[in-house]
Chains A and B, each alone.
Chain A
Amino acid sequence: MNRIQPRRLVRQIGFLGVAGAAVVAALAGCSSSKSSSSNGAYGFPEAEQRKDSAIIVWVDSTRVPAVKAFQEANPSIKVKTVTYDGSSNGSNSFKTKMALYDRAGKGWPDVVFSSQNNDASWATRGTAGGQAFAARLDKGLIPSDTLSGFTPGALNPCTVDDKVYCLRNDLSQTVLWYNDTLLKQFGYSLPTTWEDYQALGEKVAKEHPGYIVGSAGDTFTPEVLMWSSKCQANDVTGPKAVTVNTDSAECKRMAALIDKLVADKGMTPLSVFTPEFVKEYTGKVLMMPGPAWYAGAIFNNPESLNVPKGQMGVAAPLPWKGEDAVAGNVGGGTWFLSSHSANLAAAAKFLEYVTTADAYQVDEAPGYPAYASAAAKWVSKQEQSGYFTTDLSALTAAAGKVWDGWGYPSYSQEAIWAKTMTPLLTSGKSIEDNLGAWGTAIKDQAQVAGYKVND
Chain B
Amino acid sequence: MSTAFAADRRDVTRSARSSRLTGWSGRSLIGLVLAGATLFFVIPLLWLLIAVTKTEHELAVRSPFALGSWDTFKANVQQLFEFQSGAVVGWVGNSALYAFAALVITLVISIPAGYALALTEFRFRRLLMVTTLVVMLMPNTALVLPVFLEMNQVGLVGHALAVILPFSFYPFGVYLTYIYFSTSIPRSLLAAARLDGCSEVQVFTRIALPLATPVVALVAFFSFVQNWNNYFLPFVMLPSSDSYPMQVGLSTLLSATPAFNPSSAGSGSVHLPALALATIVSMLPVLILFLFSQRFLVAGMTAGGLKE
A302 located at the interface, meaning its Cβ lies under 8 Å from any Cβ of chain B in the complex: yes
Give every chain A residue within 8 A of B57 (Cβ-Cβ): 278, 302-304, 306
Q: Out of A27, A81, A106, A293, which one reaches B263, CB within 8 Å?
A: A293
A333 located at the interface, meaning its Cβ lies under 8 Å from any Cβ of chain B in the complex: yes
Give every chain A residue within 8 A of B5 (Cβ-Cβ): none
B266 and A107: CB pair below 8 A? no
Most buried by A among B240, B260, B263, B271: B263
A61-B148 in contact given A9-B126, A85-B252, A91-B251 (Cβ < 8 Å): no
Q: Out of B153, B239, B241, which one reaches A107, CB within 8 Å?
A: B239
User: Which residues 236-251 of B sit at the A interface, judged by CB distance below 8 A?
Assistant: 236, 239-241, 251
B254 and A89: CB pair below 8 A? yes
Q: Out of B127, B258, B260, which one reaches A297, CB within 8 Å?
A: B258
Closest to B158 in A: A107
Q: Out of A61, A93, A364, A367, which one reaches B84, CB within 8 Å?
A: A61
Tell me the complex Cα distance, A76–B83, Å.
27
Question: Contact mask A73-101 → B, CB, 8 Å, 1/0?
Answer: 00000000111111011010100110010
Question: Contact mask B50-71 → A, CB, 8 Å, 1/0?
Answer: 0000011101110000000000
Closest to B273 in A: A303
Q: Out of A13, A85, A278, A302, which one reaches B254, CB within 8 Å?
A: A85
A61 and B255: CB pair below 8 A? yes
User: Which residues 125-150 of B sit at the A interface, judged by CB distance below 8 A?
Assistant: 126-127, 130-131, 145-146, 148-150
A297 and B61: CB pair below 8 A? no
Tell me the complex Cα distance, A330–B262, Å.
10
A279-B261 in contact given A62-B256, A100-B145 (Cβ < 8 Å): no
A391 located at the interface, meaning its Cβ lies under 8 Å from any Cβ of chain B in the complex: no
A366 and B127: CB pair below 8 A? no
Give every chain B residue within 8 A of A330 (Cβ-Cβ): 262
B239 and A30: CB pair below 8 A? no
Question: Contact mask A297-331 → B, CB, 8 Å, 1/0?
Answer: 10001111010000000000000000000000011
Interface size class, chain B: 35 or more
Q: Out of B84, B149, B264, which one reaches A103, CB within 8 Å?
A: B149
B265 and A297: CB pair below 8 A? yes
B252 and A61: CB pair below 8 A? yes
Question: Contact mask A233-258 → B, CB, 8 Å, 1/0?
Answer: 00000000000000000000000000
A31 located at the interface, meaning its Cβ lies under 8 Å from any Cβ of chain B in the complex: yes
Give every chain A residue within 8 A of B258 (Cβ-Cβ): 273, 297
A104-B157 in contact given A88-B255, A88-B263, A366-B267 (Cβ < 8 Å): yes
Tell me the complex Cα distance, A279–B56, Å.
12
Interface size class, chain A: 35 or more
Closest to A105 in B: B152
Tell me the complex Cα distance, A97–B238, Å.
10
A275 located at the interface, meaning its Cβ lies under 8 Å from any Cβ of chain B in the complex: yes
Give every chain B residue within 8 A of A93 (Cβ-Cβ): 235
A13-B127 in contact given A61-B252, A293-B265 (Cβ < 8 Å): yes
Closest to B58 in A: A303
A296-B127 in contact given A82-B241, A85-B255 (Cβ < 8 Å): no
B266 and A296: CB pair below 8 A? yes
B263 and A115: CB pair below 8 A? yes
Give every chain A residue within 8 A of B252 (Cβ-Cβ): 60-61, 83-85
A60 and B255: CB pair below 8 A? yes
B265 and A366: CB pair below 8 A? yes
Give every chain A residue within 8 A of B264 (Cβ-Cβ): 60-62, 86, 88, 115
Give, as a whole number of angstroms, the nearest-CB distance from A218 to chain B. Answer: 8
A12 located at the interface, meaning its Cβ lies under 8 Å from any Cβ of chain B in the complex: yes
A367 and B152: CB pair below 8 A? no
Give every chain A residue within 8 A of B123 (Cβ-Cβ): 12
A157 located at the interface, meaning its Cβ lies under 8 Å from any Cβ of chain B in the complex: no
Tell me the complex Cα distance, A60–B264, Å.
9
A289 located at the interface, meaning its Cβ lies under 8 Å from any Cβ of chain B in the complex: no
Give every chain B residue within 8 A of A96 (Cβ-Cβ): 236
Give, as a whole number of angstroms, the nearest-CB distance from A320 to chain B. Answer: 27
- Known contacts A16-B127, A62-B269, A84-B241; 6 further A-B pairs (Cβ under 8 A): A27-B149, A82-B241, A83-B87, A91-B255, A273-B260, A273-B262
Spell out A's residues near B (CB within 8 Å).
4, 9, 12-13, 16, 26-27, 30-31, 60-62, 64-65, 81-86, 88-89, 91, 93, 96-97, 100, 103-107, 109, 115, 172, 220, 273, 275-276, 278-279, 293, 296-297, 301-304, 306, 330-333, 364, 366-367
Query: 23 A–B contact pairs at CB < 8 A?
Result: A12-B126, A60-B255, A60-B264, A61-B83, A61-B84, A61-B264, A61-B268, A65-B268, A83-B252, A86-B255, A86-B264, A97-B236, A100-B145, A100-B236, A104-B148, A104-B152, A109-B239, A115-B263, A172-B263, A276-B60, A301-B265, A303-B56, A367-B266
